[in-house]
Amino acid sequence: MTNVLLLRSPSQETPDPYEESFKNLGYKPSFVPVLETVFTNFEVFKRTVVLGSKTQDFTGVIITSARACEAWGHVMKDLMQVPLDNAANWSFIPFYVVGEATAKALAAVSEFCGPGPCTPNDIRGGSQTGTSERLAQFILNDLPEREGNKLLYLTGDKNRDTLPKILAERCVALESLQVYETRSSSTFVKNLESVFKSTPAESGHWWIVFFAPSAAEFATPLLRQYFDLPTLEPPKGVSTTIVNLAAIGPTTFAFLGDNLKLRVAVCSPKPTPEALAAAVKAFETRD
């Protein structure tokens, strides 16, 4: 059975959709988290939420990662015992999200926290906006008027400037607030070794799936201790372990090739578990 090494944490959903998608196609998936997330600027973020969208002239919120969704949920949990009136009114403005996974993460936060003035009710984008470029264009098409809008943009410490640049060129104002930062996992090597110990020695075929440039940059040197990773240069020898690489989307795909000089076999056409698993299967069964 072919092994699939997913360089991410399993989701809180049971079963995890990536695990289920690969198992359904006959693969053996394993998770090894690469990054740890720490919330930042919590008090500033909480004050922003309490003040409300109308008071601060926000006409929408932009969220481009599940981690930013978790940060919003973290604030909502902290405010559950705080009496808020409709002045907060976040539930009446659109939340623009990139990709289906982010949309699901924000919907889960809304469902867990229940009705209230801070609950994101109007979630837009999702499966139609799998990249920052697509989300920016979606927002431009969705806004009734471009001038006079100000959007709250929740970021991490490694966001690209693609989306802000596109919106700024079209006179859409953004106010960015960093709500989390990522750092390398202190248990990555230990978890990777655990996966190897639980894998039969005769298992010689692996897929390694990358989900973010920052994770790829940290993990690649450590992965080289266990795998002969395929590079853009012709191989110097024959490896007993067959390794193919996959990327969740075009940004990660480009980083792996341009920056790390790795040869990536598959770039998922959509950032979803089903599309990723299907693309891997299609690569293996191609003529």
Mean pLDDT lowest among 105-114, 188-197, 225-234: 225-234
Describe the strand order of the beta sheet including 122-126 as a list of residue ranges: 122-126, 94-98, 60-63, 150-155, 173-178
Q: State how far Cα 133 lies from the chain centre.
A: 15
Q: Compute the distance between CA of residue 116 and CA of residue 75 in angstroms, rounded to an integer.
A: 13
Write the pLDDT tens digit of every residue in 213-246. Answer: 989 999 999 999 888 899 977 555 544 467 999 9
Which is more confidently placed, 84 or 210? 210
Residue 26 has pLDDT above 70, yes or no: yes
Q: Are 185 and 34 in contact (CB under 8 A)?
A: yes
Q: What percent of the chain has pLDDT over 90?
A: 69
The predicted pLDDT at position 18 comes to 96
The CATH number of domain 38-182, selected from 3.40.50.2300, 3.90.1300.10, 3.40.50.10090, 3.10.129.10:
3.40.50.10090
Q: Please state, in angstroms and as integers, the Cα–Cα distance from residue 284 to each residue in 101, 206, 277, 287, following that order.
A: 25, 12, 11, 9
Angle at 36 between CA 35 and CA 42, to 5 degrees: 135
Total-model pTM: 0.69
Q: In this structure, how many other beta carbons lie within 10 angstroms of the beta carbon of residue 171?
A: 12
Average pLDDT over residues 254-281: 96
Q: Where are the domains of the chain?
A: 3-34+186-284, 38-182
Q: 227: closest CA among 248, 209, 250, 254?
A: 209
CATH for the stretch 3-34+186-284: 3.40.50.10090
Domains 3-34+186-284 and 38-182 share a fold: yes
Tokens of 113: 């926290």
Write phi, then psi, for 199 (nearest 5 degrees): -105, 130
